[in-house]
Amino acid sequence: MTVKLFLASLFSVLLSIYPCQGDLYESASNLPTSHYDFVVIGGGTAGNVVANRLTENPNFSVLLVEAGPSDSGVFNSTVPLLNAFVQANNTFFSWNYTTTPQAGLNGRSIPYPRGHILGGCSSINNMFYTRGSSEDYDRYANITGDRGWSWNSLQPYIRKNERWTPPADNHNTTGEFNPAVHSSTGINAVSLVGFPQAINSRVIKTTEELNEEFTFNLDMNSGTPLGVGFLQTTIGGGTRSSSATSYLGPEFIRRRNLHVLVNARVTQIISTHSGKDSLAFNTVEFSQGANASRFRVKASKEVILSAGPVNTPSILMHSGIGDSEELAAVGVEPILHLPSVGKNASDQPLLANAWFVNSTDTIDQISRNISLFDEDFQLWNKTKTGPFVDSGGTSHLAMLRLPSNASIFHQFPDPSAGPKSPHFEMVIANGRAPSSALSIGNLITITTNVVSPAARGKVTLASNDPFAPPSLNPGLMSTDYDMFVMQAAVRTAQRFLSAPAWKGYVTTPVGALANVTTDAALESYIRSSASTTWHIAGTAAMSAQNASYGVVNPDLRVKGVSGLRIVDLSVLPFVPSAHPQVAAYIVAERAADMIKAAWV
């Protein structure tokens, strides 16, 4: 044995008995070092993917810094039907944001939860698994001039992410999905819903009775999502599969070259001048709990910013990267003028439409009857079956378009990515999830969402205090186009329920929807009742290498600086026409490959 080899093996023996190597750290004082190859900011949906993939290479050391606590043992996150409890306004696991008063919503401010927990929003979201349309990704490729962002090029990353699993009830899934477009070799569990809802056969009947408008789509994740199909979710074995439970699962978090620090809030990224006039952002500053001291860690290769579409632009701006004038106005010293930071935010408005039904077989029953809640919860706890295995009573989605001759297209260009992409969505639920404090009866809910909005909003700083919430304006319902689509969506939901399949089942609309007889009443109902899906994207958008706007280049490096990349939903210049967590996973999978390739 050569001396070098002997030393290497002695070193690895020492590493294996070193108590703190590779694991979860609650306190920065216990970190064995403050120098890493990579520092990832944000242990959320995308950040955990990057931390996992980079540490596949044993030569890379990675520190992952997360503001929130560990997700382990957090029941309301693990049990799918309890997800609403971690989403409500001001929960222990949220950043507790609220939007600015939304002009399109009669000046209302809307609570805007963001996961403040390992796994980020993937630990608190509704677990819907929707990839979007092939055109969504082809548009990213067109905008950036990088074919690597096209739907076809991204297929390997979709497959690295997805681990298709049987539903919790092990029912025969033939006819509910297309196995050819799924992967069973990825990391994040995906399954069809695992508890049958009583309305399922009526939904399928509607696709037969009103076949032309509501065409059945065997698999909405094939790249062509239009139509009505079975919901797929990031749930495996009846429990939530988040980026924390999957990408930071026990076999990964134990890696010696990965340190995960929780309860650590990044306040800024600090630059040094490297070489001639080149700014290198390579030092990360954070604080922990009530301790006023700030800690610093250094990345010798790259800092990866994955704090999500609200906090990523905030951290950039607190670090002096943004519109110089706007930064100076709130007392932040501008370092790099990049006026697109925080701008062009793209979010999808939501409206929950409900009707009373002539049945007691809806999930409302669970919140109406405490003994039933207990019984069903115990069933989940013992066997991981029953109604608690799913998210909110939904088995089906519809992704739909306005007619191509709709009058609104005389005034507005079509903001969707193309003719195979939806303008709006209907989420069909057998009742209302148990968090709804007030249970008013047995319902059917059809939530209508504008998935390809024209409106744009922004995230700006309200103060130079890194602990103050940013000013968050998602621009909900702020264009006539979005209003037109939402009106069409509500009318479409009404037509859906007018199919013979629902005769004698649906009785009367709930609340203000009952008053909707004219277009003006419909608009007023929307402005007073709509909210958001919480799908914000685009606040640190990628653009072509030589574009006059944008925040990152197609390789996700921040324009004009070195050592800093952004990897989360902020980089997508348009929100995909879907629930966007898969897009965050896909961006992160490709980004990890690009980073690895840059440091071989």
Ligand X SMILES: *[C@@H]1O[C@H](CO)[C@@H](O)[C@H](O)[C@H]1NC(C)=O
Which residue stretch of 92-100, 445-453, 465-473, 486-494 sits at the interface with ligand X (rule: CB under 6 A)? Answer: 92-100
- Which residue is closest to ligand FAD by CB? 44
Identify the sign of the CA torsion 132, 136, 137, 138: positive
Q: Which is nearer to ligand FAD, 100 or 369 (CB)?
A: 100
Which residue stretch of 12-20, 86-94, 217-225, 345-353 sits at the interface with ligand X (rule: CB under 6 A)? Answer: 86-94
> Taking CB under 6 A as the rule, does residue 94 contact ligand X?
yes
Note whether 140 and 132 are within 8 A (CB): no
Query: Does 581 carry a binding-site annotation?
Result: yes
Site for ligand X (CB under 6 A): how many residues?
Answer: 42
164-202 burial by CB neighbour count: b if 16+ within 10 A, else e? bbebbbeeeeeebbeeebbbeebbbbbbbbbbebbbeeb
Which residue stretch of 176-184, 189-197, 340-348, 553-561 sits at the interface with ligand X (rule: CB under 6 A)? Answer: 340-348
Rule CB under 6 A: choose which of 95, 129, 151, 230 binds ligand X: 95
Answer with the entry of ligand FAD, ligand X, none that 319 interacts with (C-beta below 5 to 8 A by kind). none
Answer with the entry of ligand FAD, ligand X, none that 416 interacts with (C-beta below 5 to 8 A by kind). none
> Taking CB under 6 A as the rule, does residue 21 contact ligand X?
no
Question: Closest distance between ligand FAD and the C-beta of residue 594, in Å?
Answer: 17
Beta bridge partners of 7: none
Residue 568 buriedness (CB in 10 A; 0-12 / 13-18 / 19+): buried
380: left (phi over 0), alpha (psi -120 to 50) or beta: alpha
Query: Does 535 carry a binding-site annotation?
Result: yes
Residue 535 annotated to the active site: yes
Note whether 225 and 217 are within 8 A (CB): yes
Q: Which is nearer to ligand X, 90 or 300 (CB)?
A: 90
Helices (H) and strands (E) in the chain, counts: 16, 27
Answer with the entry of ligand FAD, ligand X, none that 100 interacts with (C-beta below 5 to 8 A by kind). none
Q: Give, as one character, the DSSP assignment of residue 563.
A: S
Rule CB under 6 A: choose which of 21, 23, 26, 96 binds ligand X: 96
Question: Closest distance between ligand FAD and the C-beta of residue 438, in Å?
Answer: 19
Question: Which element (helix H / strand E) includes 23?
Answer: strand 23-25
Answer with the entry of ligand FAD, ligand X, none that 507 interacts with (C-beta below 5 to 8 A by kind). ligand X
> Taking CB under 6 A as the rule, does residue 407 contact ligand X?
no
Closest of 598, 596, 594, 593 to residue 160, by C-alpha: 593
> Taking CB under 6 A as the rule, does residue 504 contact ligand X?
yes
Contacts 24+ apart (CB under 8 A), 375-382: 377/79, 380/79, 380/81, 380/238
- Pairing type for strands 561-562 and 278-288 reads parallel
Closest of 67, 48, 390 to residue 242, by C-alpha: 48
Type of residue numbered 394: T
- Pairing type for strands 291-305 and 278-288 reads antiparallel
Q: Where are any strands of DSSP class E within 451-540?
A: 458-460, 471-473, 506-509, 531-532
Answer with the entry of ligand FAD, ligand X, none that 307 interacts with (C-beta below 5 to 8 A by kind). ligand FAD
> Rounded CA gap, 22 and 19, in Å?
9
Query: Does 266 carry a binding-site annotation?
Result: yes
Provide the binding-site residues for ligand FAD, judged by CB under 6 A. 41-47, 65-68, 87, 113-116, 120-122, 124-128, 265-266, 306-309, 311, 315, 534-535, 568-569, 579-582, 584
Residues in contact with ligand X, shown as a per-residue x/- string from 411 to 450 under the rule CB under 6 A: ------xx--------------------------------
Question: Closest distance between ligand FAD and the C-beta of residue 499, in Å?
Answer: 26
17-55 burial by CB neighbour count: b if 16+ within 10 A, else e? eeeebbebbeebeebeeeebbbbbbbbbbbbbbbbbbbb
Show contacts with ligand X in window 44-63 (CB under 6 A).
Answer: 57, 59
Residue 396 annotated to the active site: no
Q: Pinpoint the alpha helices (H) of 498-571.
A: 519-529
Answer with the entry of ligand X, ligand FAD, none that 266 interacts with (C-beta below 5 to 8 A by kind). ligand FAD
Rule CB under 6 A: choose which of 340, 362, 473, 532 binds ligand X: 340
Rg over alpha carbons for the chain, rounded to the nearest Å, is: 24
Q: Which residues bind ligand X (CB under 6 A)?
A: 29, 57, 59, 75-76, 85, 89-90, 92, 94-96, 98, 109, 111, 116, 135, 138-139, 142, 172, 174, 291, 293, 339-340, 343-344, 358, 369, 371-372, 375, 381, 417-418, 504, 507, 511-512, 515, 549
Question: Annotated catalytic sites, by residue?
Answer: 535, 579
Known binding-site residue numbers for FAD: 266, 534-535, 580-581
